[in-house]
Amino acid sequence: MPEIWLRYGNTNIVLDIRFENLYKEIRSDFYTIAQGEMNLSLQNIALKDRSLIVVLSASNATNEVLSKLIQIAHNKRLRISIGIAPKLQGLVEPENNPYNLLLLNVNESRSLIDIISKFDRTIFLSHTSFDPLFGFTGAPTSIMRNFMKSKMSEAFSLRSKDIPNAGIIGEPYRLALSACKNINAMSIEVVANSKGISDIYFGSMEETFSCATSKLVNNYIIDEEYVKSAIISPGSQTMAHLTLADCLNSLWNSVHIIKEILLAECRKGLGAQALQMFVEGRLNPNELKKSRTYIEGQEHIMFIQETAQKYELGIISTLPEYYLKNKLGFSTYNSLKEVLDNLMSRHGIHHKVLVLSDANITLMRPNSSD
């Protein structure tokens, strides 16, 4: 019996599955840079006195890069400030070196530009990954989601489909780049998985985002045949498990090839205003597609409604069953053993299950021959 450990919140749990029932286990696998190479790359980043580093992601990788940048600034006796969006409060954890922390509770680009203008240099720090609305997430798309909320309705209206669009460069992606052109700042895009950092790109926002997304396309998209069922974990990063909205991003990365069971603790709740409004009966999903006002996370409601017609989605989570099952339509399970027992009961004792260990950084695409 193979021993497969999957992340669930802050812990790992074992999946006891027989060899004959395991179709395959998929996890991202790529070259990771050594500490010396990383340090050299970061030393070449031109920090100035009175720099502002705006952190847009709270992953292990961005925390590591941030800690090293703060150490570099400290060694050079540079005064720097760290800016974070309110949703990242308590999640950005650099090592204990002196810096000034700013909570950037702003909604529009003008306010953000006003803050940036007070510093000699601004650098946005982001962990590049996939996004079901923009195709990819990075500095430009994160800036739109956090600081240009009035632009989000336009991005939503520019979508080409009513199903997840992860890994596709389309009009929402281009809008994010265009919206950030007048921001006088540089950016760092980090490409990483559970094993470490693969690449660090520094430069203009458009240049670094383009390089990082190309890296994802060339290394993190897997063509796979359709399978009847799979068990997926968002990955080893705690940030990928914090809320249902975070975990759904991982689900949308692979929903096109499989009927899935999502392993998602979600200890910080639903994580998006639209999800909260929907489960409380204050949001009509039929009104979302043509809505002129974007509500945070409304794409998840639309994707759930659309995929429910074709896929059977299940979940293991600490969230209330009433929300998950009665409101959102997921099949709910208490353990991985219950999931496997259910799958074997429905599909037979020889049924094979695909296991995806880090769905947050891996995009599954239907094999072109299927």
CA distance linking residue 300 with residue 90, whole number of Å = 25
- Compute and round to an integer the Cα radius of gyration of the chain: 21
pLDDT above 60 for 199: yes
- What share of the chain has pLDDT > 70, as a percent? 98
pLDDT class of 207 with cuts at 50, 70, 90: very high
CA distance linking residue 368 with residue 225, whole number of Å = 9
Q: What is the pLDDT of residues 114-126, one digit of tens each?
A: 999 999 999 999 9
pLDDT class of 12 with cuts at 50, 70, 90: confident
Q: What is the pLDDT of residue 96?
A: 66
pLDDT class of 368 with cuts at 50, 70, 90: low
Q: What is the pLDDT of residues 241-250, one digit of tens each?
A: 889 999 999 9
CA distance linking residue 71 with residue 3, whole number of Å = 39
Query: SS3 sequence, the chain?
Result: CCEEEEEECCEEEEEECCHHHEEEEECCCCCCCCHHHHHHHHHCCCCCCCEEEEECCCCHHHHHHHHHHHHHHHHCCCCEEEEECHHHCCCCCCCCCCCEEEECCCCCHHHHHHHHCCCCEEEEEEECEEECCCEEECHHHHHHHHHCHHHHHHHHHCCCCCCCCCCCCCHHHHHHHHHCCCCCCEEEEEEEECCEEEEEEEEEHHHHHHHHHHHHHHHCEEEECCEEEEEECCCCCHHHHCCHHHHHHHHHCCCCCEEEEEECCCCCCCCCHHHHHHHCCCCCHHHCCCCCCCCCCHHHHHHHHHHCCCCCCEEECCCCHHHHHHHCCCEEECCHHHHHHHHHHHHCCCCCEEEECCCCCCEEEECCCC
> Average of pLDDT values for 353-367?
89
pLDDT above 60 for 369: no
pTM given for the model: 0.92
Distant-in-sequence, close-in-space partners of 278: CB < 8 Å, separation ≥ 6: 285, 301, 327, 328
pLDDT above 90 for 209: yes
pLDDT above 60 for 4: yes
Of 180 and 239, more confident: 180
Q: What is the pLDDT of residue 358?
A: 87
| Least reliable range by pLDDT among 19-28, 29-38, 361-370 | 361-370
Q: What is the pLDDT of residues 281-313, one digit of tens each?
A: 999 888 888 788 899 999 999 999 988 878 889
Q: What is the pLDDT of residue 122?
A: 97
Q: What is the pLDDT of residue 82?
A: 94
Contact 306, 288 (CB under 8 A): no
The CATH 3.90.226.30 domain(s) of the chain lie at 3-27+221-366
Superfamily (CATH H level) for 35-217: LarA, N-terminal domain (3.40.50.11440)
The CATH 3.40.50.11440 domain(s) of the chain lie at 35-217
Q: What is the pLDDT of residues 306-334, one digit of tens each?
A: 888 788 899 999 999 999 999 999 999 99
Averaged pLDDT score across all residues of the chain: 90
Q: What is the pLDDT of residue 69?
A: 94
| Least reliable range by pLDDT among 2-6, 50-54, 170-174 | 2-6
Beta partners for residue 4, in sequence order: 15
> Average of pLDDT values for 152-157?
94
> Average of pLDDT values for 189-218?
93
pLDDT above 90 for 101: no
- Tell me, which fold does domain 3-27+221-366 have in CATH? 2-enoyl-CoA Hydratase; Chain A, domain 1 (3.90.226)
Q: What is the pLDDT of residue 1?
A: 62
Angle, helices 171-179/149-157, rounded to nearest 10 degrees: 150
> Average of pLDDT values for 175-197?
93
